[in-house]
Amino acid sequence: MYPSGAGSRSQRFRLPAPACAPSTAVRQPSEGRISAVLRSGYSLPIGEGSMRKKIAPTWDSTKEPTEIALRACLIAKDAAFNAQDYIATRSQMALIAVQQCEKELDQIERQIDESMPAAITEVTEPEARELLGCMKFTIDLERVGDLMWSVARRIQNLPSPLNAKEASYLTSMAETLQEMLTRVHQGFLSRDLELAESVLRMDSKINDACHAVFSNYLEKGAGRRSYEVTHLLFMAQAFERAGDHTKNLAEELVHLVGGHSVRHVKKTRAGILRARRQR
């Protein structure tokens, strides 16, 4: 876990750990933050509207895309952590870190999308299921990165900071999202259905927090802080959507491990247990 606000300012920004390493990553300042994508041989955009093109790699197995998907989990978690820090402190380093995570997730999603068609025609059915699972992971994680960046931009555009009560709603949702992403990463690494089940349950915690924001401010009125509260509602909704995308990851993990989908059906413990028995 990464306790919020622990340590000095120079320790508040994390370098995503390698995909097969434990989920406890070392926090480092954003200036020294080595891009997970660049370390993996991927090219980030040089400037707005331009990109260094690179030939899509040939995968010899499902190992590389699985490691990429695992790394993307950690980058998305970094995005949530740094969004939380920016909400609390409005630190420019935190803002830059959220943007960097969003760019890395965009590039990873694009790389997987470009490489998948050729790769999936040359593998067995179980390997194809693994590759499709990795692709679905990167799509949802890219959306989490987009949503965290949208939260950071809204905070940046506020004329005055959120008050303590307003900020507490968002930081609580960010902490829950980080824990969900941690469990998804660990569950994907170890193919643990119990972790997937816990993520499905945790999604309701983010939903409840979002509903509390709307209940307190939309139904009762915002008073003189209508502009700030409007942004607060949009940010709470962004965290709720990020939780939904993370729930999708847990559902995909159940599909990978259990061999059948639990999407669009009632998520019950009995359903997860059935998936476990069918392994």
Domain covering 11-44+56-277, topology: Methane Monooxygenase Hydroxylase; Chain G, domain 1 (1.20.58)
Q: How many residues does the chain have?
A: 279
Domain boundaries, the chain: 11-44+56-277
Q: What is the pLDDT of residues 47-65, one digit of tens each?
A: 444 333 443 455 556 889 9
pLDDT at residue 223 in the model: 67
The pLDDT value given to residue 257: 86
Q: How confident is the model at residue 6 (pLDDT cuts 50, 70, 90)?
A: very low
Q: For residue 84, give the nearest of 17, 16, 179 by alpha carbon.
A: 179
Q: Give residue-wise pLDDT tens across range 135-157.
A: 999 999 999 999 999 999 999 99
Distance CA 96, CA 35 (A): 12
Q: What is the mean pLDDT of the chain?
A: 79
CA nearest to 139, candidates 112, 117, 121, 120: 112
Percent over 90 (pLDDT), the chain: 55
State pTM to two decimals. 0.75
Could you report the per-residue pLDDT of 216-241, keeping only the tens digit for each? 887 766 666 788 888 999 999 999 99
Q: pLDDT tens for residues 181-210?
A: 999 999 999 999 999 999 999 999 999 999
Nearest residue to 263 (alpha-carbon basis) of 89, 144, 136, 171: 136
